[in-house]
Amino acid sequence: MEMIQVAKPYFTDDDIDFITENTRDVLKSGMLMQGKWVREFEETFAAYCGVRYARAVNSGTSALISALNFFEIEGKEVLVPTNTFLASANAVIFAGGTPVFCDIVPETLLIDFDEIVRRTNEKTAGLVLVHQAGLIPPDLARIRDYCRDNNLFLLEDSAHAAGSSSAEGRAGGLGDASAFSMLATKIITAGGEGGMVTTNSEALAHRATSLRFHGEDHKRGIQDRVGYSWRMTEIQAIAGLTQVRRLDEIVSLRMSVAARYDEGFRDLESANALPLPEGCRNAYYKYPLILGDHLSRPNVKERLEKEFAVKSGTSYWPTCHLQPAYREKYGYAEGDFPKAEHTLNQTIALPMHCHLTEEEVDRVIAAVRAIAG
């Protein structure tokens, strides 16, 4: 059997033709960066998210650091869920702050509001709110009100959530700023890499523009801060533009796959999928499945691949605080965040992308049921 992959980008033939034709024109023009395509990509992305500004950068991590730099977190603490990719916490360190991890709600894999309250102190500057696997927190309004009432910034880590929405709005327009990743495996990609900062703050957008080109004030043509080389190329922007134009279609296709999984696992007592609150759209960067305690995640993962040719991943394991670098730097240990440790060690991520056929999805369902049923 051909192996079913966990992730795969989605480009239609029309999109490939558009990218190929316009890439040829860009190469002939010699204008390889900071041209019309980056501007159009930014404007289209901002309009999609319902915000005033979007600034393209070279990665999701750069997008996070750009926003955190604006919030001036040097010597301060920033709350981060321990269930996220390390970039969410690393960006806090790169911007001069200290990440303070929070435990999760096992049913959603998202940050626990009570943890936010418990870990907020006089040093806390803000919160990085991760839309894990594409799911916007059902208690977003409560989190946002708490941040406002306690003078905390709210930065969405929307790396998993391009196209996700809730009753509060679309990811990218739900906080003070948002950071998107456009890595090859993400919901949309800018040709393999890329990132985007979105915000309604003109000052924050200006900071992101400055930081991505060595700290230059583009209006005055001088370097008034220390910056980086974080620009997105025109060729990347062409690819990204086709993706955001097709984002609603991409999310619909991924939600169709998720709905088929949901139905296939509905009566499976040994595994639970994430909820989808009414009125929400989940872009499903991942499809996490929480296994019963009698099942071994590593064993299930191995059997899926060897016996059924189905790749799977995690969401995320080890957690941030159990990664060796963070154990050594901050002294974290097993038992510090028991809900995350227990739940994530029992969570696998099933194949999720637009190219999955009904037959392949049914094969994944049958494989999981054969092992966990």
Cis peptide bond prior to 138, omega within 30° of 0: no
Q: What is the pLDDT of residue 82?
A: 98
Chain segment 204-251, per-residue pLDDT in tens: 999 999 999 999 887 777 888 899 999 999 999 999 999 999 999 999
The residue type at 205: A
Q: Is 64 helix (H, G, I), strand (E, B) or coil?
A: helix
Q: Which distant-in-sequence residues (6+ apart) come within 8 Å of 273 by Cβ?
A: 258, 261, 262, 265, 287, 288, 289, 290
Domain regions of the chain by residue span:
13-102+110-245, 247-372
Superfamily (CATH H level) for 247-372: Aspartate Aminotransferase, domain 1 (3.90.1150.10)
Report the mean per-residue pLDDT for the chain: 97
* pLDDT cut 90: percent of the chain above it: 96
Rounded CA gap, 304 and 3, in Å?
A: 10
Dihedral of CA atoms 167, 148, 200, 172 in degrees, nearest 10, equals: -40
Domain at 13-102+110-245: CATH code: 3.40.640.10
Chain segment 325-341, per-residue pLDDT in tens: 999 999 999 999 999 99
* Tokens standing for residue 79: 């709350």
* Tokens standing for residue 190: 């800018």
Strands (E), the chain: 53-57, 77-81, 98-102, 104-105, 110-111, 124-130, 153-157, 165-166, 169-170, 177-181, 195-199, 216-217, 222-223, 271-273, 287-291, 347-350
Q: Which distant-in-sequence residues (6+ apart) come within 8 Å of 97 by Cβ?
A: 68, 73, 74, 75, 76, 77, 78, 125
| Fold match, 13-102+110-245 / 247-372 | no
Segment 17-31 mean pLDDT: 96
Q: What is the pLDDT of residue 219?
A: 73
Q: What is the pLDDT of residue 240?
A: 98
